Amino acid sequence: MTLDQATIAALAARLEEAEHKRAPLTKITDEYPHLDWDDAYAIQEAIRASKIKAGVRIAGLKCGLTSQAKMKQMNVTEPVFGFLCDYGAYPDGGEVPFDKFIAPRIEAEVAFVTHTELSGPGCHIAQVLAATEFVMPAVEILDSRYRDFKFDLISVVADNTSAAGFVTGGRARCIEELDLPTLGLVVEKNGRIVELAAAAAVLGHPATSVAMLANNLARRGQVIPAGSFIMTGGITAAIGIERGDAISVRFQDLGSVSLRFV
Amino acid sequence: MDQKQITAFGDALFDAMTTRSTIAPLTTQAPDISIDDAYLISRRFLERRLATGERVVGTKIGVTSKAVMTMLNVHQPDFGYLTDRMMFATGAEVPASQTLIAPRAEGEIAFILKKDLCGPGVTNADVIRATDFVMPCFEIVDSRITDWKIKIQDTVADNASCGVVVLGDKAVKPTAVDLSTCGIVVSLNGEIISTGAGAAALGSPVNCIAWLANTLGARGVTLKAGEVILSGSLVPLQPVKPGDNMHMTIGGVGQCSVRFT
């Protein structure tokens, strides 16, 4: 930790204002080059506390940078984690107002819903499977509060891992009915296939993301409460969105999720 | 292209395969070569193989992915012949250093027919009715053209760049799995190198089989009950070398593994 509480609060306020005004910033590590992971998560926590104080309800948790290849490329050994807000939830098949975002992108994911608390350290995939009530197909809407996608991972964590919204729907299934690693999906933008993948693209198995989230939270004295909704990370690369784009994702055995930016 | 030149190119490709050597692209040797010429060369190449005792057991479809179509600048698939000598089963060792030139692995879905399929007019429903079961498989493509410098005519003449085929561990009914969304996970030496889904091949592997039946039907050829048809790669091509292990799983279908020696 390199920052004092006042600086953390000021940076959190700056990022929140950027979100509300849709006015992107330069990455905060330009100004604070020695910022570390603890600082970044502390800023994220401050944003979360301020949102709760303003009446926002936390709708879930999310994992990002869950591809082995991307982690290697960024020289890190674990994903990044953030939270989801109630106002970011959009209905399956519904309209998403494009103007709420700066430069939105979407990713297709599998979301987990738990019935039992998960806590680290030492949380592993078997505990995650035992604690999972069901999984659902989902699409995450990402929107960096940094200008032109110029950021590093520490700045991204402070910015709540670019979390901006999500859509979930399709068909909820018990995890024992599925072979999650080989579960395939097809992303279509305006009727054209743009991405194809299988869920093993997320750390070999999306439940691994949840275990890593529990272990990361443990370092911050937190747990994944029972009843949590958890987005496990993009199975596909992020897809850039323009106004008018219609997205439809077909998941093997989980139905489909669609949304339209208006 | 006259018959003499077609025969000469077919023979050159056969000799390249049997001696593990390569020839210059036909499209540089004979720039006017048409795709129809290329299929006649492919047929001659096959006849040379049949003359050594090989038997046709099926067909492969190639150029089904957007990436390969863009690379070759064509907007339709192609096909080649599968013979008994190309076929391996999961867990097999493929003697790449003795039999192949520049092998690359593709993960795909094989269809085994229980009824004849003859175009034109074959629909998706006809394909599913005629399919006994589908299996996971690796196709190991190879090129008898120097450094894989292929245009569409080169790969068509070279039997759609087919090398060998490794069929997987399970056979499932085509009605038991969503062939468009089924996921594929491919690993090389224990590391996941690619994932994809059935829709990578013309939106669905079923579309590929319908295309083949209709294309061959226009040439008076019927796909026969019992034949194996490879529907096209679902992931990018992976160059392989002796010592490599590859494994793949297709969701709801099965698995396949192969080792190269």
Distance CA B107, CA B81 (A): 18
- Of B107, B191, B175, the C-alpha closest to B141 is B107
Cβ neighbours of B261 (radius 10 Å): 12
Structural domain range at position A125:
58-261
Domain boundaries, chain B: 55-260
> CATH number for the domain including A97?
3.90.850.10
- ipTM for this prediction: 0.88
Write out the DSSP string of A29-53: GGT-TT--HHHHHHHHHHHHHHHHH
Cα of A219 to nearest chain B Cα, Å = 29
What is the bridge-based pairing of β-strands A94-96 and A255-261?
Answer: parallel
Interchain CB distance below 8 Å, B180 and A186: yes
Taking CA atoms, what residue in B is nearest to A69? B193
- Partner A contacted by B254 (CB < 8 A): no
Please report the pLDDT score of residue B138 as a whole number: 98
Residue with tokens 């192949």: B100
Binding-site residues on chain A for chain B (CB distance < 8 A): 68, 179, 181-186, 193, 196-201, 204, 235, 250-253
Q: Given a cut of 90, is residue A67 above it in pLDDT?
A: no
Half-sphere exposure of B29 (CA within 13 A, CB side): 17
Residues 6+ apart with CB under 8 A from A95: A259, A260, A261, A262
pLDDT band with cut points at 50, 70 and 90 for residue B73: confident
CB within 8 A of A192, min separation 6: which ones? none
At B47-68, the pLDDT tens digits run 999 999 999 999 999 999 888 8
Closest approach of B161 to chain A, Cα-based (Å): 24
Q: Is position A25 within any domain?
A: no
List Cα–Cα distances, A128 to A84, A255, B107, in angstroms.
20, 23, 30
Question: Has residue A17 been placed in a domain?
Answer: no
Contact A183 B249 (CB under 8 A): no
Nearest partner of B83 among B198, B160, B7, judged by Cα: B160
Q: Which CATH class is domain B55-260?
A: alpha beta
Residue A185 is assigned to a structural domain of this protein: yes
For the stretch A196-217, pLDDT in tens is 999 999 999 999 999 999 999 9
Contact between residue B195 and residue B80 where contact means Cβ atoms under 8 Å apart: no
Proportion of chain B in helix, strand, coil states, percent, rounded to 5: 35, 30, 35
pLDDT digits (tens, 9 = 90+) for B77-126: 999 999 999 999 999 999 999 999 999 999 999 999 999 999 999 999 99
B26–A contact, CB cutoff 8 A: no
DSSP reduced 3-state for A216 = helix
Return the DSSP state at A207: H
Give per-residue pLDDT as tens, B212-247.
999 999 989 999 999 999 999 999 999 999 999 999
Q: For residue A259, what are its two tokens?
A: 């949304």
Of A181, A250, A251, the CB nearest to B185: A181
Mean pLDDT of B156-163: 97
Answer yes or no: are the C-beta atoms of B210 and B174 closer than 8 Å.
no
Partner A contacted by B196 (CB < 8 A): yes
Q: A200 phi and psi, to 5 degrees?
A: -60, -15
Report chain B residues whose CB lies below 8 A from the CB of A235.
Answer: 195
Pairing mode, strands B245-250 and B183-188: antiparallel
What end-to-end distance do the CA atoms of chain A give, in Å? 42
For residue A254, what is the nearest residue in chain B, using CA coordinates? B181
Whether residue A149 is predicted with pLDDT greater than 80 in this model: the reply is no
State percent of chain B over pLDDT 90. Answer: 95
CB contact under 8 A, B181 and A204: no
Residue B93 touches chain A, beta carbons under 8 Å = no
- Check CB contact of B218 with chain A, cutoff 8 Å: no
B124 three-state secondary structure: helix
Q: How many domains does chain A have?
A: 1
Tens of pLDDT, residue by residue over A31-46, are 999 999 999 999 999 9
